[in-house]
Amino acid sequence: MGCIVGQATLPAMKSRSSAVWNPARFDARAFAQAQAQLSDHSTLSEWPRLLAEAHGLDDASVRELPLAWAIRGEMRPGPAGGEPQVWLHVAAKLALPLRCQRCLGPVPADLQVDRWFRFVADETTAEMEDEECEEDLLALEPKPSVLDVVEDELLMELPLMVMHDVCPEPVVLSAGDAEAGSATEPERKNPFEVLQALKRGA
């Protein structure tokens, strides 16, 4: 494949190698055998499940937040002379604004994934072996979306409890208070305006 590739033949991914290693239907064995690496930068708007967790998800700047991920494949000898095993390292990074449970303001959360996975034949094998091994398992077949794996792992990094150490804004006690506050705003100006009017009149 040449350096300049017709747009029609390329998937949405930018790098040339990702056209070979289809992240949406990922051949982990071939990837590991080639000791391949793949990385990409995208924006939060391309990751709907993560975007749904963001504070201010309708905000254009939130949708443009950078998400970086990288994967690396490796074959390792199996136990006791068994079949070589397929391993994949997944790294990902995202600074995601979450909603503070006290003041409802944004709290930045640094989500980071840095983990090895071992691939087994299928999901049944993964379930069977899951209890007796410490590493995380994924199934070779059906071929997974590596993008889903990245998103799953970042979602698992979300803190259960989100709160500022010290909230930056005074806590608004209730919606009623907030309304009362805004309602008094014009009234506070009125005496001054009346005064100005009196001065002009005088």
Contacts to Zn ion by CB under 5 A: 100, 102-103, 105, 164, 167
| Cβ atoms within 10 Å, residue 37 | 13
| Shorter beta-carbon distance to Zn ion: residue 100 or 150 | 100
CA-to-CA separations, 126 to 14, 17, 66, 81, 131, in angstroms, rounded: 32, 28, 32, 20, 9
| Shorter beta-carbon distance to Zn ion: residue 25 or 102 | 102
Tell me how far, at minimum, the Cβ of 105 lies from Zn ion, in Å: 5
Tell me how far, at minimum, the Cβ of 170 lies from Zn ion, in Å: 10
Among candidate residues 74, 75, 76, 48, the one with its CA nearest the CA of residue 62: 48
The burial class, CB within 10 Å (0-12 / 13-18 / 19+), for 96 is buried
| Shorter beta-carbon distance to Zn ion: residue 97 or 144 | 97
Helix (H, G, I), strand (E, B) or coil at 58: coil
| Shorter beta-carbon distance to Zn ion: residue 71 or 100 | 100
Tell me how far, at minimum, the Cβ of 70 lies from Zn ion, in Å: 33
Tell me how far, at minimum, the Cβ of 44 lies from Zn ion, in Å: 21
